[in-house]
Structure 1
Amino acid sequence: MERAMYFESNRSSRDGMIAVGSVVMNRVRSDDFPNSVCGVVGQKNQFAPGVMTKKMDSRSLPMIREAARSVLRGERHPLIGNATFFHTAGYSFPYDNMHYVLVTGGNAFYEKRNSHLVTRPVPPLPIEGITGR
Structure 2
Amino acid sequence: MLASSLGACSLFGMQFGMARLSEKECMMRAMYFESNRSSPDGMLAVGTVVMNRLYDSEYPKTICGVVGQKNQFAQGVLTKRMTDSGVVLAAQMADRVLAGERHPGVGPAQHFHTAGLRFPYNNMLYVLEAGGNEFYIKTRRR
Band of TM-score, shorter chain? 0.7 to 0.9
Which residue number corresponds to residue 128 of structure 1? none
Residue 91 in 1 paired to residue 129 in 2?
A: no
Which residue number corresponds to residue 106 of structure 2? 80
Runs of 4+ in 1 over 3 A off after TM superposition: none
Q: CA separation in 1, counterparts of 2:104 and 2:36?
A: 18
Over aligned residue pairs, what C-alpha RMSD do you find? 0.8
Which residue number corresponds to residue 44 of structure 1? 70
Question: 1:1-133 residue pairs with structure 2 within 5 A?
Answer: 1-116=27-142
Q: CA separation in 1, counterparts of 2:126 and 2:56?
A: 18
User: How many pairs does the alignment contain?
Assistant: 116
Q: CA deviation at 1:60?
A: 1.8
Q: CA deviation at 1:59?
A: 2.2
- For the 8 Å contact 2:37–2:87, the answer to whether it is kept is no
Q: Which has the larger displacement, 52-61 or 26-35?
A: 52-61
Flag the structure with higher strand content.
2
Q: CA deviation at 1:35?
A: 1.1
- For the 8 Å contact 2:124–2:139, the answer to whether it is kept is yes
Where 2:85 maps in the other structure, the secondary structure is helix
Q: CA separation in 2, counterparts of 1:115 and 1:47?
A: 24
Q: CA separation in 2, counterparts of 1:90 and 1:44?
A: 23
- Using the size of structure 2 for normalisation, the TM-score is 0.79
Q: CA deviation at 1:9?
A: 0.5
